[in-house]
Amino acid sequence: MDEPKQTKNWWFHLLFLASGAAILFFLLHAPPESTKKLPHNPDHERFFAMDKKAAEKFCEECHQPQGTAPLPANHPPKYRCLLCHKRT
Ligand code: HEC
Ligand code: HEC
């Protein structure tokens, strides 16, 4: 004989709650942001005072493939440097 409808619903609710709890647990345990910060040194110091968009125009002078400090080959899409490499 089939299970009563109420009982089946109860199991779906439990499953829903369990997956919600699992996702919450995962988010709360995410590692701290680990992308490198904009370094404080003579190459970068002037960018701390600038408007972000203005500062980003200069990054590629050095961080382009032919520059003095090319980006690593596996670098993520590099649109807007300072949104990922924070200034602190
Ligand atoms: C005058 C040249 C120059 C300019 C302009 C420049 N950088 Fe750099 N940057 C360097 C050099 C050199 C290094 C060191 C590379 C290495 O690790 O060997 C570096 C390293 C870095 C690092 C890695 C720091 C670390 O902890 O390893 C980040 C992030 C970075 N730059 C971001 C930026 C951003 C964002 C901009 C634009 C706002 C910028 N840079 C503009 C020369 C420059
Ligand atoms: C979507 C986020 C993102 C953006 C946008 C971005 N980066 Fe990165 N960058 C990373 C990540 C992640 C790494 C891997 C190493 C790390 O943890 O910093 C990295 C690595 C680097 C490194 C090498 C650091 C080292 O290991 O020595 C430099 C230099 C750098 N980025 C400069 C730049 C510049 C200049 C721009 C803009 C043209 C830029 N990044 C835009 C996320 C980003």
> DSSP of 41-58, one letter per residue?
STTTGGGGTS-HHHHHHH
36 occurs within a structural domain: no
Phi and psi angles of residue 38, each rounded to the nearest 5 degrees, phi first: -60, 125
Two tokens, residue 82? 């300072």
* Atom 22 of ligand 2, residue of closest alpha carbon: 71
62 occurs within a structural domain: yes
For the chain, what is the mean pLDDT? 91
CA of 35 to the centre of ligand 2 (A): 7
CA of 63 to the centre of ligand 1 (A): 7
Tens of pLDDT, residue by residue over 28-42, are: 888 777 899 999 999
Residue 3's pLDDT band, with cuts at 50, 70 and 90, is low
Residue 58: how many CB atoms within 10 A of its CB? 15
Q: Are residues 49 and 26 in the same domain?
A: no
CA of 53 to the centre of ligand 2 (A): 16
Task: Quickly list H helices, the chain.
Answer: 5-28, 52-62, 81-84
Q: Are residues 50 and 80 in the same domain?
A: yes
**Residue that the structure tokens 């490499």 belong to:** 85
* Atom 12 of ligand 1, residue of closest alpha carbon: 69
